[in-house]
Homo-oligomer: A and B are copies of this chain.
Amino acid sequence: MDTARPIDTADLQALLDSDLFAAWVRELALRVDTIDGGALTLTLPVAPRHVHGGGVLCGQTLMAAADTAMVLAISAALGGFRPMTTVQLQTSFLRPVAGDSGAAVITARVLRKGKSLVFGEIEITDARGQLAAHATTTYALL
**Which of A's residues lie within 8 Å of B, judged by CB?**
18-25, 27, 48-54, 58-61, 63-64, 67-68, 83, 85-96, 111-112, 116-117, 119, 121, 131, 134, 136, 138, 140
Contacts and interface: CB of A to CB of B under 8 A. Distances in A.
A134 B117 contact: no
A111 B131 contact: yes
A101 B94 CA distance: 35
Given A92-B138, A134-B111, A134-B136, A52 B25 contact: yes
Which of A93, A95, A111 has the most B CB atoms < 10 Å from its CB? A93
Nearest to A140: B117
A134 B116 contact: no
A63 B64 contact: yes
